[in-house]
Amino acid sequence: MHTRESRGARVAPWIVFAAIIAVAAIVAAFLFMRGRDGGAPWGGGGSSELTVGLTDQPTSLDIRTNDERGVEQALVGNVYETLLTRGDDASVAANLVARWVPSADGLHYSFILRDGLTFADGSALDASAVVASLQRTITDRHVGYEELGDVATVRNTSDSQFTIDLHRPNPRLLWALTGRAGIVVNVAAAERAGDDYARRTYGSGPFDVAGSDGSSITLTRNDRYWGRKASTSRIRLAYYKDEAALADAAEAGSLDVALPRDAATTQRLAKHDGLRVDDGLGMRQTMLALNNAQESPFSDVQVRQLTRYAIDAAGIAKTQPESAAQLSGPIGRLQPGYVDLDDLFPYDEAKAASMRAYFPYVYFHEFTVLTDETHRAVAERITATFNDVLSMPATLEVVDADELAKRVSDGDYDCALVTLEGVDDYRRFVDGSPMFHYQNGEAQRVYEDALARTDYKDYRERMRDFDRIVSQDAASAWLYENKDFVVAKSSVDGVDAENSSWRLRLADLATRR
């Protein structure tokens, strides 16, 4: 007996073949798009080698004792990780710590670590390892230890949980754990290796240091990394003596990525075929620093205020190639306490001249506007404003960058157009620092009140009040926040420019496929 086959019970071979081809095409397209996104397929595994050019080579790899910006740029986030990290709007976000619970009185914090954390050598990054690292930071006074000055005890309550108890509230504690104070070091591994921190590293990040010489640091992918693996297996950080040498190397094709600090270098490289320029907000702040010392013409608050009205800060911020945004107070956008104060002293020459009329002509002795060659054009513009609009006898003095930095730091100037790094420089407006000789009882009281708050959110709100008081008092004339720059070959992706001069995150750096 013959039976009739049901339709569809047998599939033609050509249909099976077509289906296989279609699935293969879909998979290939997915892998291609993953490569375009700057990451290796399935979160790591690429085997390429890339070179990143910089200018600030750290003198030592010792993350504990070296406070140079260059060592933080190279290692933090790449080799060493912090317990917490910084989110948008200067918020605090999870990192090695998955979550935390503060007490109502702000004296006790309980932290819970992520699951499966390991150091680069494969050993567990558990609560006892965190406690050992934090205790060593405090006891040996490593970089950032001051931020942990109110800590009474650090102890682990389980493999995944540790607590920090304070003598008194420290609302900056969580913020401190996003920085140098929050770095977790594999203390046990370092002790076994003779604490050779200057040449070796003991971190938990997506990279480890394979070697360092007089001109470069080589990072290799940490294949034991607890999170998403780095996209590139080997990255060489190549250091150059100056911006010109860095630009030459980038134009010659020797670099996959370059991080110039100067806008002029970036503009030069932007004209080169095959190179792409990205920028983001950085920590540096450009300002007309005003010396508030008694012998300075800027010791009078009204003189400082009329100076701010006379300077077109908004116009300067819009026209300078290194400017990311106008800044009108001591706290920048990447710091807790920032508030937009641009409306406090709008450009108004008539108002400035009217305020100037209060002072007799002989009130002002001749003074200098100090600057370096980088800021000459803007300084010339400000000097002309002093003379032509305000009838204040100002002359321009241009010195080299090192002398400018020293004289401003020592308070040996009347006013100076200068770019400061911006990291916690606002504290110089609290204690009468020789840099500004600025003292304001209300500002100091508000600052101390901020430090007495029991949680980070309240601290940040109170710091906004501090920011406003110092700006209203015209302690200086802020102009703009500077950009950080990343220049990359058009075939390379994965480096975020924002704050890259301090935190150069390289885990996603990759060549497009």
Give the N- to C-terminal CA distance of the chain in Å, as an integer: 60
What is the CATH architecture of 207-280+485-511? 3-Layer(aba) Sandwich (3.40)
Q: Which token pair is 22?
A: 């279609």
What pLDDT band is residue 88 in, cutting at 50, 70 and 90?
confident
Residue 228 Rama label (left phi>0; alpha psi -120 to 50; beta): beta
By C-alpha distance, which of 472, 363, 454, 513 is closest to 102? 454
Q: Which token pair is 441?
A: 């009882």
Give the per-residue pLDDT at 61.
96
Decide if 204 contacts 113 (C-beta within 8 A). no
pLDDT (mean) for 66-83: 97
d(CA 110, CA 356): 56
What is the CATH architecture of 282-483? Roll (3.10)
Helix or strand (DSSP H, E) at 114: none
**Is the per-residue pLDDT at 77 higher than 50?**
yes
Distance of CA 383 to the CA centre of its chain: 32
d(CA 333, CA 503): 16
**Is the per-residue pLDDT at 41 higher than 50?**
no
Decide if 217 contacts 89 (C-beta within 8 A). no
Q: Where are the domains of the chain?
A: 56-193, 207-280+485-511, 282-483
By C-alpha distance, which of 315, 310, 114 is closest to 227? 114
Helix or strand (DSSP H, E) at 285: strand 275-290
Give the per-residue pLDDT at 508.
97
Give the per-residue pLDDT at 214.
84
What pLDDT band is residue 512 in, cutting at 50, 70 and 90?
confident
pLDDT (mean) for 350-378: 95
d(CA 164, CA 148): 10
What pLDDT band is residue 19 in, cutting at 50, 70 and 90?
very low
pLDDT in tens, 320-355: 999 999 999 999 999 999 999 999 999 999 999 999
d(CA 263, CA 268): 9
pLDDT in tens, 154-195: 999 999 999 999 999 999 999 999 999 999 999 999 999 999
Which CATH fold would you assign to the domain 56-193?
Answer: Dipeptide-binding Protein; domain 1 (3.90.76)
What pLDDT band is residue 27 in, cutting at 50, 70 and 90?
very low
Give the per-residue pLDDT at 442.
97
What pLDDT band is residue 372 in, cutting at 50, 70 and 90?
very high
Give the percent of the chain with pLDDT over 70.
Answer: 91
Give the percent of the chain with pLDDT over 90.
Answer: 87
pLDDT (mean) for 257-286: 97
Give the per-residue pLDDT at 496.
97
Query: For the packed helices 243-251 and 263-270, what is the interaxial angle rounded to 10 degrees?
Result: 10
pLDDT in tens, 413-443: 999 999 999 888 999 999 899 999 999 999 9
Give the per-residue pLDDT at 362.
87
Give the CA distances from residue 241 to residues 204, 238, 248, in Å, rounded to whole numbers and listed in that order. Answer: 30, 10, 12
Decide if 200 contacts 79 (C-beta within 8 A). no
d(CA 76, CA 206): 11
Q: Which token pair is 509?
A: 């750096």
Q: Which token pair is 426?
A: 């606002």
Angle among Cα 402, 408, 411 to the nearest 5 degrees reads 140
Q: Which token pair is 240?
A: 């150059």
pTM > 0.75: yes
- Residues, the chain: 513
Beta bridge partners of 290: 415
**Is the per-residue pLDDT at 1 higher than 50?**
no
pLDDT in tens, 190-203: 999 999 998 899 99
Decide if 230 contacts 50 (C-beta within 8 A). no
